[in-house]
Amino acid sequence: MSLRVMIVEDSPVARMMLGDMLQSRGHQVVAEVETLEQAVDAYRAQKPDLITLDLSLGRQDGLTVLKAIRGIDAKAKVLVISGNAQKNIHALLMSSGASGFLTKPYSISELDSAIAQASAL
């Protein structure tokens, strides 16, 4: 199934690699943003099927973005993609409404599985 995806990621390298993987799987990248403010604006404008969210975003952390987006739409599907694999952070994100978690670095098949799981919730 093709999804409309918004990427929240401050690393241009990670953003491009993820965007390329998503498009190679037939998904449409509808927005690529780096900050909380951009994420909120883009979410309201695009209403994507899925958001991929990094946790290290310069001035803000991804948890703040997750809570802001879930505050706008409690049904928003957010897949966290991060190098931060701490058990307590994982639990905190899931209890805050994340739909899934994928640890960097990841393969395209791991991305496929994570998207399928997150978008099915």
Partner 1 sequence: MNLTKSAQEALRRLIESGVGRSADKLAVMSHTRWSMQTVSVNTAAGDHLRSSTGNDAQGYYGAYFNMPGGVFLVLFSQRSGKVIIDAFLSDSPSGMKAIPNLEQSVLAEISNVLVNAVAAEFADACDMGFFVSAPEMLQGSKERLFELTLKKFSGTDKNLAVTSYVHMSSPSVSTDCSLLILLTEAMAGRLVEAIDA
* Closer residue to partner 1, CB minimum distance, 38 or 119: 38
* Closer residue to partner 1, CB minimum distance, 28 or 45: 28
CB of 47 to partner 1, least distance (A): 27
Residue 81 CA to residue 103 CA, distance in Å, equals 6
**Single-letter residue type at 10:** D
Give Dmax (Cα) for the chain.
34
Under the binding rule (CB under 8 A), the answer on residue 92 touching partner 1 is yes
Under the binding rule (CB under 8 A), the answer on residue 56 touching partner 1 is yes
| Residue that the structure tokens 């879930």 belong to | 70
CA 13, chain centre distance (Å):
15
- Footprint of partner 1 (CB under 8 A): 10-14, 16-17, 20, 55-58, 61-63, 82-89, 91-92, 104-105
